[in-house]
Amino acid sequence: MQARGIHHLGVAVEDLDEAVTTYERIFGARLEHRETVPDQGELLASLGEETPVGKFLTERGPGMHHVAYEVADVRAAIGELAEQGVELVDEEPRQGLFGLEVAFLHPNAVNGVLSELVHDG
């Protein structure tokens, strides 16, 4: 599998509004899109303690949640990695933000870092 590069970084935060303000103030960033996604997001605020982000915040606190890598074909990348014995979270692609096709690799497979594969057309 060949990644095209890093697509995005997901950061888990306790207070989404405060985090957006911080990134605007420090980096001059601007909010492009805000959406509630039941399972994941990018500046990631928890929708509940039992969600993946909620569990992450409880166990580790705010910080880097995942790294997403752009690939040409998520399904093909999953198949190739599965053949290599890489531990996957998703054995089939799922729909991410903006309708993108995504799949996650288990942190155990990538030195403790939750990693996401993204096809961005």
Span 25-35, pLDDT tens digits = 888 888 877 77
Span 46-84, pLDDT tens digits = 888 888 888 888 988 888 888 999 999 999 999 999 999
Helices (H), 28-116: 52-60, 74-83
Rounded to two decimals, the pTM is 0.79
CA-CA distance, 17 to 9, in Å (whole number)? Answer: 18
Q: Cβ(103)–Cβ(88) under 8 Å?
A: yes
Within 10 A of 100 (CB to CB), how many other CB atoms are there? 18
